[in-house]
Amino acid sequence: MILFFPGRPDGTLSSLCIFNMLLYLLGSCLMDMAKKGKVSEDKVDSFNLPMYIMSSQELKEAIDRNGCFS
């Protein structure tokens, strides 16, 4: 089994992570599509993709707390 976790370097703000920047770009594209009438603005407003990119230290702590990985 392979588990894939997007991550960021320790000490880096989550907002400066490249993955979050890509999500910001996606949001900007969706708003542009709404302005052009390709999709309703209500649908864009209701779209929610909660995401938090952990640092390697945060991931290690979460795995240790979970206790299911050894």
Write out the residue range of the structural domain in which residue 39 sits. 14-43
pLDDT score, position 17: 82
- Tell me whether residue 6 is in a domain: no
Any domain includes 49: no
| Inside any domain, residue 35 | yes
Q: Which residues are CB-neighbours of 48 under 8 A, at least 6 positions away?
A: none
Alpha-carbon gap, residue 54 to 56, rounded angstroms: 6
Is 30 contained in some domain? yes
Let me know if residue 4 belongs to a domain: no
Token pair for 21: 């920047």
Burial of 33 (0-12, 13-18, 19+ CB in 10 A): middle
Instruction: Answer whether 0.95 is exceeded by the pTM.
Output: no
Write down the pLDDT at residue 69: 80
36 has a pLDDT exceeding 80? yes
Is 67 within a domain? no
Under the banding of pLDDT at 50, 70 and 90, the label for residue 42 is: very high
